[in-house]
Chain A
């Protein structure tokens, strides 16, 4: 076995030094009743070459580009990933290191994550970003818990236009401690309706997502005005498509107290939904209340610049049961991935790429509209939007799958009132020809 380097002679010599009779004797302390009686029942080992065949065949059983045209966003986006980013990320010096507990020999990770924190702050218009959370959903849950701690209140308001799967995670995190979640409905235009909570002073936080699950860009400025018109209410803004902030005003600029969301779009493969990247950033006032690891700049004893893990007094390994969160390992390599991607795009690149995403999606929406498929929500959108297809579109949808086209996400299971509504996404990876073909196929099915 190529991962186990010991020869028989070495094993014998080592046993002798350790004063142990044989390999079984190493476990003499394990009570008999705790031991397995039978060997593990697992498949026979595969050679490297057999593994390639076996796993390769499984990989071929999933619908992916270029074979399939998949117009799904909904929290997981198809973006081009430069070869340089994948190549750099593959360096074992990054991938096979642990959390940087020994800063002198972990400056690569520390420097890169400090840069990640900095670019996330610039992207979101916030003061302090942590080194990552597990994903956009758990980040949102932790943001709400943080607001509950800060304000010492017991209720939060969460928009129904936040990703339904994120809301389910929030529900799970908040259930045992008994905090109450008040759901905010959405308006006819697809944006969140805050009218029910305008003056409520028992809310720790109001959470919205922008662009929201329907793709609609929320009016964060007016939401912020409403939320902050009552004291001690925090505005938490979530997102699933950070590329939008290449174009849009940042949540920080518009008044967010905590901005958190999913960073998968930044050079991370979709990989069936994980690993992704929980981006998490706050205004300075809340720095010491935030969850997660933080990297700070400092100097070494010779006066040279260096980086360390810092403000650990918030964390589980120091504070144990009183920590701001239980998070330990986060999504460090994904944060490194994202900073490599952001560095590759640059300020100029991210703006152009965001603009292109916006325009591709608008082109598709416009063509669908011309073909008679209406967009029910009138709000501005970025790279995804909702379409109302004709009644019983499901049959057509399945016919398109047979033609290797996935025409968006059916919304009925998430929003029963939105039967025959589909969420479609078009990014820079969709060519005009693909988009025209999608419209043609949808239309021809309609005419059947």
Chain B
């Protein structure tokens, strides 16, 4: 085995902001005062917030040191299942930071924001083409926000038919945001179990689908990394009862240029630009969760919408059936530019290739590790594969221990304990931007850890010892919350 990429480095201690600095210090070049002071109503005036005063050097060192305590895609392989932690191209950052975008005010008259509107218009068309669902809104700020938008569209659709349905079918493999989004729209979640193959069985859906059910939310490929191969039949059952089919497209990275979601029976789908379309996740956002729908549902999309006439773009509010607005302005435009730049850089053939390689990488890992870790669903997978810790339980080693030890080998752990249908799940999504050598090192590390689990489990229980901090007391954090200082 090659030398591990995980190692010790010089890591700085750094206090909290208010534990440093000196009153009167400044890290900001205060603009020249060229106007007189005007009196302020004393009644309304406070003392100003108690922020620490820091110099520019203080601030730069502070956040540089903090950044060094983070693992990131830029530092190493980040096979976090369901999250598509692919490489985030640097040129996209450059495009989004252009002053002509960064400085654009959202309420400028249309003739003063043609470049912005053109990008939004074209991006909508590209996403419509990629999914097969041609009508698109870019307003949702993240995946869950897209789900809420989708549920609002379900609600508006049924209302337009004069009905108000009360339930929604959600498979047990679904991400937690699915039922939570349904609840926000007043829908009661009706869970269905996936079958022994890890996918939805039409009969199980038929058993719960009725005329009071608004539709179904399916993730496809699902969170076990499996393609829902009964999707058409499932869709038909739902449609026959007047319901709609929502697809959580978080896993679209597996099937670009391969699957047509509309042909699969999907009516509404959200994408995560911060997954499939290579925009960085920012340590928790900002993301972007566009929603794509069939032509029949277009009239319900959030407004305003970008329209084009004779090469001129403008925003139109003329959508009386629209669900309304779900963002103050038009969503996370700064993120949309990055996805636009990505699609323009990749083109059709490379997007398809990206999906093929994402699936290849996952199947390669699955094959290489299936004798080492238990594989609850031993079927060809899509972009991710899900193992668990069954082979390790004899040694009192858990998924969590494997995850923590993996850090010491220089890898971000996979997603763990999700999906909930697999006890002790280890969900690995390598993405297409990882090369064979790095994947081989990851496989070697996983094998080495399984060996250590048998021979020296303490190594795993003690891990990690190399990062800035070791395992943290999460129970006390929740029992006696200390949320600000």
Q: Does A36 contact B (CB under 8 A)?
A: yes
Mark the stretch among A126-134, A151-159, A196-204, A229-237 that contacts chain B: A126-134
Mark the stretch among B205-213, B290-298, B330-338, B386-394 that contacts chain A: B330-338
Q: Are B281 and A62 in contact (CB under 8 A)?
A: no
Say how far A105's CB is from chain B's closest CB, in angstroms: 4
Neighbour of A356 across the interface among B18, B33, B260, CB < 8 A: B33
Mark the stretch among A7-15, A182-190, A368-376, A437-445 that contacts chain B: A7-15
Known: A30-B229, A34-B263, A302-B470. Is A345-B28 also a contact (CB below 8 A)?
A: yes
Q: Are B360 and A15 in contact (CB under 8 A)?
A: yes
Say how far A437's CB is from chain B's closest CB, in angstroms: 13
Q: Are B38 and A63 in contact (CB under 8 A)?
A: no
Neighbour of A299 across the interface among B71, B116, B433, B476, CB < 8 A: B476
Interface string of B94-124 (1 = CB under 8 A from A): 1111111111111111011111101100000
Q: Does A353 contact B (CB under 8 A)?
A: yes
Instruction: Report whether over half of chain B's contact residues are helix, strand or loop; otherwise say mixed.
Output: loop
A343 to B330, CA, bound (A): 29
Q: Are B184 and A108 in contact (CB under 8 A)?
A: no
Mark the stretch among B55-63, B238-246, B449-457 that contacts chain A: B55-63
Say how far B325's CB is from chain A's closest CB, in angstroms: 4
Given contacts A61-B113, A115-B16, A274-B329, 20 further A-B contacts (CB under 8 A): A1-B346, A14-B436, A26-B360, A34-B259, A48-B345, A55-B337, A61-B116, A82-B56, A97-B281, A102-B407, A105-B69, A108-B68, A121-B484, A168-B324, A175-B324, A272-B329, A275-B332, A294-B483, A300-B469, A333-B280
Q: Does A224 contact B (CB under 8 A)?
A: no
Q: Are A297 and B477 in contact (CB under 8 A)?
A: yes
Q: Does A215 contact B (CB under 8 A)?
A: no
Known: A4-B433, A27-B359, A59-B101. Is A108-B334 also a contact (CB below 8 A)?
A: no
Q: Does A406 contact B (CB under 8 A)?
A: yes
Q: Are B180 and A325 in contact (CB under 8 A)?
A: yes
Residues in A neighbouring B32, C-beta threshold 8 A: 431
Residues in A neighbouring B185, C-beta threshold 8 A: 176-177
Within 8 A of A (CB), among B406-447: 407, 412-413, 415, 418, 432-436
Known: A134-B141, A247-B46. Is A30-B255 also a contact (CB below 8 A)?
A: yes
Interface hub of A10, A23, A51 (most chain B Cβ within 10 A): A51
Say how far B123's CB is from chain A's closest CB, in angstroms: 11
Q: Are B258 and A104 in contact (CB under 8 A)?
A: no
Q: Are A43 and B347 in contact (CB under 8 A)?
A: yes
Closest A residue to B190 by beta carbon equals: A321
Neighbour of B284 across the interface among A100, A248, A306, CB < 8 A: A100
User: Which 9 pairs between the two chains have the least Cβ-Cβ distance?
Assistant: A273-B329, A332-B284, A333-B282, A59-B100, A273-B106, A92-B74, A45-B347, A61-B115, A64-B103
Residues in B neighbouring A255, C-beta threshold 8 A: none
Residues in B neighbouring A249, C-beta threshold 8 A: 44-46
Q: Are A107 and B70 in contact (CB under 8 A)?
A: yes
A150 to B119, CA, bound (A): 42
Q: Are A64 and B282 in contact (CB under 8 A)?
A: no
Q: Does B148 contact A (CB under 8 A)?
A: yes
Q: Does B50 contact A (CB under 8 A)?
A: yes
Residues in B neighbouring A335, C-beta threshold 8 A: 284
Residues in B neighbouring A346, C-beta threshold 8 A: 21, 25-28, 51-54
Closest B residue to A77 by beta carbon equals: B105
Say how far A368's CB is from chain B's closest CB, in angstroms: 14
Known: A98-B283, A274-B330. Is A176-B155 also a contact (CB below 8 A)?
A: yes
Residues in B neighbouring A20, C-beta threshold 8 A: 360, 363, 380
Closest A residue to B141 by beta carbon equals: A134
A166 to B358, CA, bound (A): 40
Say how far B11's CB is from chain A's closest CB, in angstroms: 10
Known: A275-B334, A316-B176, A323-B180. Is A93-B68 also a contact (CB below 8 A)?
A: yes
Residues in B neighbouring A355, C-beta threshold 8 A: 37, 40
Say how far B439's CB is from chain A's closest CB, in angstroms: 8
Within 8 A of A (CB), among B13-35: 14, 16-18, 21, 23-35
A227 to B468, CA, bound (A): 48
Q: Does A362 contact B (CB under 8 A)?
A: yes
Query: Please, could you name 26 A-B residue pairs with CB atoms under 8 Å apart, sorted by A?
Result: A10-B435, A13-B436, A20-B380, A52-B91, A58-B119, A63-B108, A82-B28, A91-B67, A94-B72, A100-B283, A104-B404, A106-B70, A117-B484, A128-B483, A169-B325, A175-B324, A249-B45, A272-B105, A272-B334, A273-B333, A275-B141, A275-B334, A306-B468, A306-B472, A346-B28, A366-B38
Residues in A neighbouring B50, C-beta threshold 8 A: 122, 347
Known: A29-B379, A36-B259, A349-B26. Is A4-B51 also a contact (CB below 8 A)?
A: no
Residues in A neighbouring B226, C-beta threshold 8 A: 29
Say how far B336's CB is from chain A's closest CB, in angstroms: 8
Residues in A neighbouring B155, C-beta threshold 8 A: 175-176
Q: Are B346 and A308 in contact (CB under 8 A)?
A: no
Interface hub of B177, B283, B334 (most chain A Cβ within 10 A): B283
Say how far A328's CB is from chain B's closest CB, in angstroms: 5
A111 to B472, CA, bound (A): 13
Q: Does B344 contact A (CB under 8 A)?
A: yes
Within 8 A of B (CB), among A338-368: 339-340, 342-356, 358-360, 362-363, 366
Say how far A139's CB is from chain B's closest CB, in angstroms: 10
Residues in A neighbouring B284, C-beta threshold 8 A: 98-100, 109, 113, 131-132, 293, 329-333, 335
Q: Does B1 contact A (CB under 8 A)?
A: no
Q: Are B51 and A356 in contact (CB under 8 A)?
A: no
Residues in B neighbouring A315, C-beta threshold 8 A: 176
A103 to B46, CA, bound (A): 37
A331 to B286, CA, bound (A): 4
Q: Does B301 contact A (CB under 8 A)?
A: no
Interface hub of B48, B88, B264, B403 (most chain A Cβ within 10 A): B48
Interface string of B339-377 (1 = CB under 8 A from A): 011011111111111101101110110111000000000
Closest B residue to A106 by beta carbon equals: B70
Residues in A neighbouring B49, C-beta threshold 8 A: 119, 122-123, 245-246, 250, 347, 350
Residues in A neighbouring B16, C-beta threshold 8 A: 111, 114-115, 118
Q: Are A298 and B180 in contact (CB under 8 A)?
A: no
Q: Are A97 and B331 in contact (CB under 8 A)?
A: no
Within 8 A of B (CB), among A285-337: 287, 293-302, 304-308, 310-313, 315-323, 325-336
Neighbour of A308 across the interface among B180, B340, B472, CB < 8 A: B472
Q: Are A45 and B346 in contact (CB under 8 A)?
A: yes
Q: Are B404 and A14 in contact (CB under 8 A)?
A: no
Q: Does A165 contact B (CB under 8 A)?
A: yes
Known: A41-B129, A299-B472. Is A274-B332 also a contact (CB below 8 A)?
A: yes
Q: Are B263 and A95 in contact (CB under 8 A)?
A: no
